[in-house]
Each structure stands twice: as structure tokens, then as C-alpha cells.
């Protein structure tokens, strides 16, 4: 398998990106990792790391789409970027997947407008995430590619999410739910109500509405929503966890006795952190384009990048793109 990594992706590129690529190449020596980006910067980062026996290739791309670049503009104007070159390799059959921790809007725009393009019949590609929670993992989409959605889009998201849950999480006949403000049928906004009717008529295993609490309890394998409320959902989960984390740390270190308690309880806190660590998954797929594309967090470290490459491997092995081509009608 050949996986392209955007070396100019993360907030602190290229160090976390190159480090992650190296970790991946070491972990999966049968695969090839292709680093795309500014050659000098990549080579400097690799420095005198011993890369013998490691299948790491560099493909030059001079331009960089930065985090604050306007996505549509960057997709149009920076055609020599690592995103253009990297996804171009996937389009041309020279690689199997593309991974980037860069500007999410940029990845979207370069994928849909310039390189891989939408799969036939897919109305809107969607950005998905796998949430790793104590109760288990589930696929949640769209988390931000489409702020305004129509019922038909959500039905396609449900199909693409099911394909992903089956291929990557190994769920047979995945349970699909709509994120809503109440579980009862009839709750929801206009979009949820109209989508409900369409999903009930589909051949997906549609289980109805779920509230955030039930979603987090893993009561569905695929949770579907428009990109606006989905973005609120995922960012609120992150923000609430981070807020509590800081609050607990502050309160525990406030007195010597509670601080001692915190020290003794440290292994428990470490297990908790691991349980809700987004870097364990590394990245989420952009579903609906002609190729495997994984978007990682801008704040990724090397381990997160390596895990995002792992996601790409699963998606390629699971034949996600072909399954979406077959599934979306």
C-alpha cells in the first residue's frame, strides 16, 4: 500500500508530520509512506535519522496551504501545494490514500474542486469522525463540511457512514441514528423530520433519533447530522472534556492533601485520558470523493499522525471508496 502524507499539514509542520510518517513506516514496513512537501524542510527534519530499511519516499511540492488561507482561493491559486500534489498522486493511481493535518477547508476544496472530485451521484462529500468513548467507538458525520444540508444529503451521509462503520469498525449491518433534540419520533427540526421519513424507507438499519447522551453511550454505530450541529456536537464534547480536565487539575493541586491524592490516582487519570484521546484515532475520513482522504487535527503530534495513517490503511483495506460507489444511489 502507498500512503501519501502532507508534510506541510499540522500547525507545527513539518516536524509532527514527518515524525508521524517515520513512525508509520516503521510500524508497517510492508507499506510505503510518501512525504509530500517542501523537500529541503522535509530533509532537514529527517536530519540524520537512520531511515535504512524504512520505506519512505519524498515527493516535492513547493507551495503550502496555510491554516488561515481561504480554502476556495487556496485551492484555485496554490496549485503547486502539497495537497494538490498529494491528492494528485491518489487520483493518478500512484498512491492509495492521502492524509493531512492541514487546513480542513483546504483539503475539502482541493479534493472536491481540483483533484479527486466527487463520486458520481454523491451530492455532497461529508467529513466524518470516529469518536473513541468509554462505551465504544462510533462514526459521526457530517462534522463540518456542509453547514446547510438537505434531507437527501443526510440520507447519503447515512449510507457513507454505514460503509465506513462496516469497513473500518467491523460492524455488520450498522445501526444508523439521527442526532436530535429528543429521542421520540416527531422531535427534531424540519431537516430531521424530513430525513426520518426517507431513512425509514431506506434499507439501512435506521433506529431513529438519538440525543447526545445516547450517542455517547454508543447506542448507534453511525450518528448522522448536518455539518453545523455536528460541528457543535463534536466541539462541545471536546470543550467540555478539556474544561473539566483543567478544573479537576486546578482543584486537586489547590491543597497538599488533595495533591497527594491526585498523585496516587495518577494511573487512573492516565487511563481516563487515553480513553477520550482524539489522537488515538488520529483523523477522520472525507467521504464521497474518489479516493481515501483522512483529515487529522491541526494540533496533531507524531503519534496522532501515525494513527491517522493507520486510519487510511483501514479505509483502503476495507475498500471504502468502492463500497460508497456501489452504495450511493
Out of 2, 232, 325, 327, name the contact with a second copy by CB under 8 A: 232
Residue 247 interacting with a second copy (CB under 8 A): yes
Judged by beta carbon, residue 197 or residue 213, the one nearer a second copy is 213
Q: Are 126 and 44 in contact (CB under 8 A)?
A: no
How many whole angstroms separate alpha carbon 272 and alpha carbon 279? Answer: 14
Which residues 6+ apart lie within 8 Å of 212 measured at CB? 179, 233, 237
Out of 76, 251, 322, 326, name the contact with a second copy by CB under 8 A: 251
Residue 284 interacting with a second copy (CB under 8 A): no
Cell numbers linked to 108: 475539502
Tell me the backbone φ, ψ of residue 234, rounded to 5 degrees: -75, -35
With contacts defined by CB under 8 A, name the span among 3-11, 56-64, 108-116, 272-280 that binds a second copy.
Answer: 272-280
Out of 76, 185, 266, 299, name the contact with a second copy by CB under 8 A: 266
Residues 199-218 that bind a second copy (CB under 8 A): 211-213, 215-216
Out of 29, 76, 147, 152, name the contact with a second copy by CB under 8 A: 147
CB of 3 to a second copy, least distance (A): 29
Out of 51, 94, 242, 326, name the contact with a second copy by CB under 8 A: 242
Which residues 6+ apart lie within 8 Å of 12 measured at CB? none
Pairing of the two strands 2-6 and 32-37: parallel
How many whole angstroms separate alpha carbon 143 and alpha carbon 161? Answer: 12
Out of 102, 227, 285, 291, name the contact with a second copy by CB under 8 A: 227
Give 248's Cβ-side CA count (13 Å radius): 14
Residue 298 interacting with a second copy (CB under 8 A): no
Residues 106-135 that bind a second copy (CB under 8 A): 133-134
CB of 293 to a second copy, least distance (A): 20
In terms of phi and psi (left: phi > 0; alpha: psi -120 to 50; beta: otherwise), the region of 205 is: beta
How many whole angstroms separate alpha carbon 297 and alpha carbon 253? Answer: 30
Out of 237, 300, 307, 311, name the contact with a second copy by CB under 8 A: 237
Residues in contact with a second copy, shown as a per-residue x/- string from 181 to 200 under the rule CB under 8 A = x-----xxxx-x--------
Residue 276 interacting with a second copy (CB under 8 A): yes
Out of 83, 122, 167, 179, name the contact with a second copy by CB under 8 A: 179
CB of 193 to a second copy, least distance (A): 9
How many whole angstroms separate alpha carbon 287 and alpha carbon 118? Answer: 9
How many whole angstroms separate alpha carbon 239 and alpha carbon 237? Answer: 6
Cell numbers linked to 271: 487511563
Residue 239 interacting with a second copy (CB under 8 A): yes
Q: Are 138 and 144 in contact (CB under 8 A)?
A: no
CB of 246 to a second copy, least distance (A): 8
Judged by beta carbon, residue 164 or residue 233, the one nearer a second copy is 233
Out of 55, 150, 228, 319, name the contact with a second copy by CB under 8 A: 228
Is the Cα torsion angle 12, 310, 60, 289 positive or negative in sign? negative
Residue 252 interacting with a second copy (CB under 8 A): yes
Q: State the first-to-last Cα distance of the chain, in angstroms, to the nearest integer.
A: 29
Nearest by Cα to 2 from 95, 79, 136, 104: 95
Q: Does an H or E element contain 4, and which?
A: strand 2-6
Residues interacting with a second copy, by CB under 8 A? Answer: 133-134, 144, 147-148, 179-181, 187-190, 192, 211-213, 215-216, 226-229, 231-233, 235-248, 250-252, 254-255, 257-258, 260-269, 271-272, 275-276
Amino acid at each position: 500500500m502507498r500512503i501519501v502524507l502532507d508534510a506541510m499539514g499540522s500547525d507545527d509542520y513539518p516536524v509532527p508530520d514527518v515524525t508521524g510518517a517515520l513512525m508509520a513506516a516503521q510500524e508497517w514496513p510492508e507499506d510505503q509512506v510518501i512525504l509530500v512537501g517542501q523537500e529541503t524542510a522535509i530533509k532537514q527534519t529527517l536530519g540524520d535519522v537512520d531511515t535504512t530499511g524504512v520505506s519512505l519516499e519524498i515527493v516535492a511540492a513547493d507551495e503550502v496551504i496555510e491554516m488561515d488561507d481561504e480554502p476556495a482561493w487556496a485551492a484555485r491559486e496554490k496549485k503547486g501545494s502539497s495537497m494538490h500534489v498529494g491528492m494528485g498522486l491518489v487520483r493518478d493511481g500512484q498512491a492509495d490514500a492521502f492524509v493531512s493535518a492541514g487546513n480542513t477547508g483546504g483539503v475539502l476544496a482541493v479534493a472536491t474542486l481540483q483533484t479527486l472530485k466527487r463520486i458520481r451521484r454523491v451530492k455532497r462529500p461529508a467529513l466524518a469522525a470516529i469518536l473513541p468513548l468509554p462505551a465504544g467507538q462510533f462514526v459521526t458525520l457530517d462534522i463540518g463540511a456542509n453547514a446547510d444540508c438537505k434531507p437527501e444529503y443526510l440520507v447519503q451521509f447515512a449510507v457513507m457512514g454505514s460503509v465506513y462503520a462496516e469497513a473500518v469498525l467491523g460492524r455488520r449491518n450498522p445501526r444508523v441514528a439521527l442526532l436530535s433534540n429528543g429521542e421520540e419520533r416527531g422531535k427534531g427540526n424540519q431537516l430531521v423530520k424530513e430525513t426520518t421519513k426517507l431513512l425509514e424507507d431506506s434499507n439501512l438499519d435506521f433506529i431513529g433519533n438519538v440525543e447526545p447522551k445516547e450517542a455517547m453511550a454508543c447506542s448507534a454505530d453511525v450518528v448522522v447530522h448536518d455539518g453545523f450541529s455536528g460541528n457543535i456536537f463534536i466541539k462541545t464534547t471536546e470543550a467540555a472534556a478539556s474544561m473539566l480536565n483543567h478544573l479537576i487539575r486546578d482543584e486537586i493541586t489547590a491543597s497538599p492533601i488533595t495533591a497527594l491524592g491526585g498523585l496516587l490516582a495518577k494511573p487512573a487519570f492516565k487511563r481516563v485520558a487515553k480513553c477520550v484521546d482524539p489522537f488515538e484515532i488520529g483523523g477522520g475520513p472525507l467521504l464521497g470523493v474518489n479516493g481515501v482522504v483522512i483529515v487529522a487535527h491541526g494540533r496533531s503530534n507524531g503519534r496522532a499522525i501515525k494513527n491517522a495513517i493507520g486510519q487510511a490503511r483501514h479505509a483502503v483495506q476495507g475498500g471504502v471508496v468502492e463500497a460508497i460507489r456501489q452504495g450511493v444511489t
